[in-house]
Amino acid sequence: AQKITQTQPGMFVQEKEAVTLDCTYDTSDQSYGLFWYKQPSSGEMIFLIYQGSYDEQNATEGRYSLNFQKARKSANLVISASQLGDSAMYFCAMRERDTGRRALTFGSGTRLQVQP
Partner 1 sequence: ETGVTQTPRHLVMGMTNKKSLKCEQHLGHNAMYWYKQSAKKPLELMFVYNFKEQTENNSVPSRFSPECPNSSHLFLHLHTLQPEDSALYLCASSHAGQGEVGETQYFGPGTRLLVL
Distance CA 17, CA 8 (A): 18
Number of residues that bind partner 1 (CB under 8 A): 29
In terms of CB distance, is 12 or 54 closer to partner 1? 54
In terms of CB distance, is 109 or 114 closer to partner 1? 109
Distance CA 13, CA 56 (A): 29
Answer for the pair 1, 103: CB distance below 8 angstroms, yes or no: no
Residues 41-70 that bind partner 1 (CB under 8 A): 42-47, 50, 52-53
Distance CA 12, CA 27 (A): 30
Choice from 11, 64, 108, 111 touching partner 1 (CB under 8 A): 108
> Which among 99, 108, 97 has a CA at the least distance from the CA of 34?
97
Residues of this chain that interact with partner 1 (CB under 8 A) are 4, 31-33, 35, 37, 42-47, 50, 52-53, 91, 93, 95-97, 100-104, 106-109
